[in-house]
Every structure is written in structure tokens, then in C-alpha cells.
Amino acid sequence: MADGKVTYEVRADDSKLSSDLDSANNKVKGSSSKFAGAAKTAAVGITGTLVATGVAAVKFGTDFETSMTKASTLMEGTNVDMDALEKNMLALSDATGVAATELGEGLYTALSAGVPVTEDMGEAMKFMESSTKLAKAGFTDIDTAISATAKTLNAYGLDVSEAERIQDLLVQTQNLGEM
């Protein structure tokens, strides 16, 4: 200890060191293969979920397009901006929580019942918006709300501009009729 350093000599039995390292290595390999299997299973599950979601999205889009195409058959002779109409229908769906496909079918019903077709489809969209509100307030579906409104308008020879008034009367009738 002449230079100010202390030196220790450590002796250990390393005879089991090699076998312990091999054992640890095998455990890591076993765990990693189990992890790989679990990861593969999870990947299959995630992929399946993504595929199912994709299929549902395509079906939703196809169903909506089909309903809008069906409605467009009642627009002959009028230059309707279908892109704008579809955007408005999707915005109404987002705002109300009513499925876009259901709204598309409702539009067909409304146009069939005599709601006027115009280039901007302003009256039809106003009718659809108020019918959606009626469906929500009357605890019914959009088709029933549209049909009840259209049948009432047609039965009394009223203009579509009277739709909201008729719908207000329908809600009041429902509310007063329940005991």
C-alpha cells in the first residue's frame, strides 16, 4: 500500500456461472417466443377489427350512396347539386345523430310525398331538419315523422312551408294526449 491504493483480491466459484447463464438465456428465449406468439395473436385480432371496421365503413358509404341515388330519381328535370345535397345530409346526420342512410331514405319518402325539388334543395333540407326534430321530440323514427307530416300536409292541401307548424301541432297533440 505504498502508493495509497488498497487492492482487494476477490475469489469466487464460477463453476456454475456457465450453466446459470445458459439457463437464463433459455428463459429469455422462452419468454420471447411466448411474447411473439401473443403479439401475433394480438396482431391478428387488431387486423380483424380493422378489417371489420373498414367493411362497415364501406357498407355505410354504399348504403348512403344507394339511398341518395334512389332519391335522385325523383329529381328529374331539376339541376340539383348532388355533392352539396350529400354534404348537407351528412351534416344533418352529424348534428342530429340520425344515420345518414336513414336520412337518405327519408328524403326519398319526402320527395315522393310532394316536397318540392329545387336546385338548392333548400325546402327539402328544411323539411328534413324539422322532421328530424319531430322524430326526436316524438320518440319515433325519421320515416314515421316524415310520413305523418307529409300525409297531414297532403290531406289538408297545405304547402310544405306549413310543415313546422303541423309538426308543432303533432308534438302538442302527443303531449296532451298522454295521461
The predicted-structure confidence for 93-151, as pLDDT tens digits, reads as follows 999 999 999 999 999 999 999 999 999 999 999 999 999 999 998 778 999 999 999 99
Q: What is the mean pLDDT of residues 11-40?
A: 56
Q: What is the mean pLDDT of residues 23-33?
A: 57
Q: What is the mean pLDDT of residues 2-21?
A: 58
Distance CA 80, CA 87 (A): 13
Instruction: Give 47-104 pLDDT, tens digit per residue.
Output: 555 555 554 444 546 888 999 999 999 999 999 999 999 999 999 999 999 999 999 9
- Is 13 contained in some domain? no
pTM for this model (two decimals): 0.66
- Is 70 contained in some domain? yes
Please say if the pLDDT value at position 32 is more than 80: no
- Is 108 contained in some domain? yes
- Is 95 contained in some domain? yes
What type of residue is 80?
Answer: V
Q: What is the pLDDT of residue 128?
A: 96
What domain range includes position 86? 23-177
- Is 3 contained in some domain? no
Q: What is the pLDDT of residue 173?
A: 86
Greater confidence, 81 or 2?
Answer: 81
Work out the angle at residue 164's Cα, subtended by the Cα atoms of residues 162 and 165, and round it to the nearest 5 degrees. 65
CB contact at 8 A, 166 and 152: yes
Hey, what's the cell of 116?
Answer: 318540392
Number of domains in the chain: 1
Please say if the pLDDT value at position 5 is more than 80: no
Residue 138 CB: number of other CB atoms within 10 A? 17
- Is 10 contained in some domain? no
Instruction: Give 152-163 pLDDT, tens digit per residue.
Output: 999 999 999 999
Element (H, E) at 50: helix 17-72
- Is 2 contained in some domain? no
Q: What is the pLDDT of residue 64?
A: 87
- Is 132 contained in some domain? yes
